[in-house]
Amino acid sequence: MTCAELFRMGESSDSPVRVSLGANMPRIDLTGQRFGRLVTICATSERAVGGSILWRCRCDCGTNVNASCANLRRGAVASCGCLQRDWTKSGKANFKHGYAHSGAESSEFNIWCTMKARCFNPNSEKFPDYGGRGITVCERWLNSFENFLADMGPRPEGKTLDREQVNGNYEPGNCRWATPKEQRANQRPRSLAA
């Protein structure tokens, strides 16, 4: 079955498409899996720098892009690029709504932005401890600062965003506002195995 045929199947069905690619079957089959806004269609014959297989993906906005298996799996790529554009746009929109007042480094809006950067921006200093470990942001919060604020409420003085399960994602059931002391009591144990 050709890539184009697979693609048409993917379009006509809501359920993930899983088709054997036979001899061309990549080692890790990502067919039909969702990564943020991207759903993988099929493996291409191309490789990314470093050797990771490039996958043809369909973005929720309707654009097709290639993304490497490695980047998809570690959450570095989650859209055709429209996610970043929408974040920028929603950032501007939220400025108008009175959040992210200038100079307020610890505003809820800023926390929401850095949370996403830790999980999705490989250039973020904290990325290796978050996105690099597979920690992600739930879809409800990913695209909506309003949803994040509605679920978390305003940040109490002296508290920052904390995940109760250190290996859990940023999502309503796993997040709270906590003081630095409360967060230290909750850190992930280091170097349990050699």
Longest dimension (CA), the chain: 59
Q: CB under 5 A: which stretch of 60-68, 105-113, 134-142, 146-154 binds Zn ion?
A: 60-68
* Extended strands (E) in the chain: 34-35, 38-47, 53-59, 64-68, 160-163, 175-178
Among 71, 79, 136, 143, the residue binding Zn ion under the rule CB under 5 A is 79
82 binds Zn ion (CB under 5 A): yes
61 binds Zn ion (CB under 5 A): yes
CB closer to Zn ion, 9 vs 82:
82
CB closer to Zn ion, 59 vs 100:
59
The count of chain residues that interact with Zn ion, using the rule CB under 5 A, is 6
Q: CB under 5 A: which stretch of 56-64, 107-115, 138-146, 148-156 binds Zn ion?
A: 56-64
Query: Cα 152 to chain center, whole Å?
Result: 19
- Residue ranges in 146-185 that form contacts with Zn ion under rule CB under 5 A: none
CB closer to Zn ion, 30 vs 100:
30
CB closer to Zn ion, 79 vs 143:
79
**CA atoms of 145 and 124, how far apart (whole Å):** 20
Q: List the one residue out of 113, 111, 91 whose CA is nearest residue 153.
A: 111
Residue 2's Cβ-count burial label (10 Å; 0-12, 13-18, 19+) is exposed
CB closer to Zn ion, 63 vs 107:
63
Among 39, 80, 115, 149, the residue binding Zn ion under the rule CB under 5 A is 80
The answer to whether the CB of 55 falls within 8 A of the CB of 66 is yes
Q: CB under 5 A: which stretch of 52-60, 66-74, 124-132, 140-148 binds Zn ion?
A: 52-60
Using DSSP's 3-state secondary structure scheme, residue 131 falls into helix
CB 58, min distance to Zn ion, A: 9
Other CB atoms within a 10 A radius of the CB of residue 100 amount to: 19
59 binds Zn ion (CB under 5 A): yes
CB 86, min distance to Zn ion, A: 9
Query: Cα 11 to chain center, whole Å?
Result: 23
Q: Which residues on neighbouring strands pair with residue 35, listed in sequence order? A: 38
Q: Which residues bind Zn ion (CB under 5 A)?
A: 59, 61, 63, 79-80, 82
